[in-house]
Amino acid sequence: MKKKIVVVGAFVTDLVATMKEFPAAGESIVGETLNTYLGGKGVNQCVSVARLGGDVSMIGMVGDDAYGKKFLSFMDEEGIDHRGVFVHKELPTGLAQVQINASSQNRICVIPGANMGFGFEEEEKVKPILDNADIVMFQFEMRLDVIFDMIRYCHKKGKTVVLNPAPAAPIPDDILAAVDYLTPNETELAKISGISSYDTLEDIEEGCKRLKDKGVKTIVTTLGDRGCYIYNEKGNFYKGFKVKAVDTVAAGDSFNGAFTVKLSEGSSLEEAARYANGMGALTVQTKGAIPSLKNRECLEAFLAENK
């Protein structure tokens, strides 16, 4: 039977304005285009699981505003159960103001808003949803004290804990020991494990070993176009697919979603790695986050063509 996945994570709306040149301090300029995109690592991972046919629910918090409403109706469209998503009365829905100039440089200001409003009170309320889950996925775009407490709870209840430690932050030893699958990218691995270089597979293996010594069961490190490296009893490298990348936004999120869907179906690590590398490779071929998250049919056609 397919296992039940719950994603605990953030909602962020990206407001992307393009302009010839950034305004200087105190200056107003006229920009060119404005686009609004739904995102946040939690949402991206949840949508990726849903589109690949996983049985998934979302836990988190939006604001009582138009962006929050948009997220709720979007989750309905995607068939995602959002009974664990709260609406904060005062804080705005998480938002990123993104400015892009003619040379494609960006300046980004993130307002976490309601994502940081999810506290211990909400944690208490979602415990029945966590109790009902088999696999729970976390990232670091919410209050870390609350995330750590939820990880401890899930571990105690025997749930499979998948932690995507992004953006990287120091992780207490008892949390590392409660994680079944830790899924950093290479820079996050370096920050968390303390390795000074991540150029070679030996460097990556060293970082994984340090985390394994602290009790993480399996470390899945994503390596961009190189693929991924999975370490539990020993390390294995799984080569990525050769594709033309146009935008790497959400590659890590789609990888995490696909990997977890395969875990929920009882697949081997090797199969999960191939599936997740395939999903990441598909994602980088399309611009944006949500539009680049492909469905199962698409992914399986890609894998069949790239045996």
DSSP conformational letter for 10: -
14, 81, 180, 253: which one is catalytic? 253
Residues 158-217 close enough to bind ligand ADP by CB under 6 A: 185
Q: Out of 67, 118, 148, 241, point to the residue binding ligand ADP (CB under 6 A).
A: 241
CA angle (58, 81, 291) in 5-degree steps: 70
- Contact by Cβ (8 Å): 293, 250: yes
Distance CA 11, CA 67 (A): 9
Neighbours of 152 (CB within 10 A): 15
Minimum distance, C-beta of residue 255 to ligand ADP, in the bound complex (Å): 4
Active site residue 64: no
- Contact by Cβ (8 Å): 139, 164: yes
Q: Does 248 bind ligand ADP (CB under 6 A)?
A: yes
Minimum distance, C-beta of residue 146 to ligand ADP, in the bound complex (Å): 22
**Residue 156 C-beta-side C-alpha neighbours within 13 Å:** 8
Q: Out of 178, 228, 263, 290, point to the residue binding ligand ADP (CB under 6 A).
A: 228
Closer of 94 and 165 to ligand ADP (Cβ): 165
**Residue 25 C-beta-side C-alpha neighbours within 13 Å:** 0
DSSP conformational letter for 180: S
Closer of 86 and 198 to ligand ADP (Cβ): 198
Residue 34's beta-bridge partner residues? 17
User: What x/- string results for residues 252 through 281 when contact with ligand ADP is judged by CB under 6 A?
Assistant: x--x---------------------x--xx
Q: Is 64 helix (H, G, I), strand (E, B) or coil?
A: coil
Distance CA 131, CA 302 (A): 36
Q: Does 84 bind ligand ADP (CB under 6 A)?
A: no
Q: Does 284 bind ligand ADP (CB under 6 A)?
A: yes
Minimum distance, C-beta of residue 252 to ligand ADP, in the bound complex (Å): 2
Q: Does 236 bind ligand ADP (CB under 6 A)?
A: no
Minimum distance, C-beta of residue 280 to ligand ADP, in the bound complex (Å): 2
Q: Does 132 bind ligand ADP (CB under 6 A)?
A: no
Task: Record the tokens describing residue 225, joined without a space.
Answer: 């176009």
Sign of CA dihedral 302, 57, 286, 222: negative
Binding segment toward ligand ADP, per CB under 6 A, in 90-98, 111-119, 139-147, 225-233: 225-233
Minimum distance, C-beta of residue 300 to ligand ADP, in the bound complex (Å): 16
Q: Does 227 bind ligand ADP (CB under 6 A)?
A: yes
Neighbours of 28 (CB within 10 A): 5
Neighbours of 127 (CB within 10 A): 13
Q: Out of 13, 160, 222, 260, point to the residue binding ligand ADP (CB under 6 A).
A: 222
The residues that touch ligand ADP, with contacts defined as CB under 6 A, are 185, 222-225, 227-228, 240-241, 243, 245, 248, 251-252, 255, 277, 280-281, 284
Q: Could you list the active site residues? A: 253
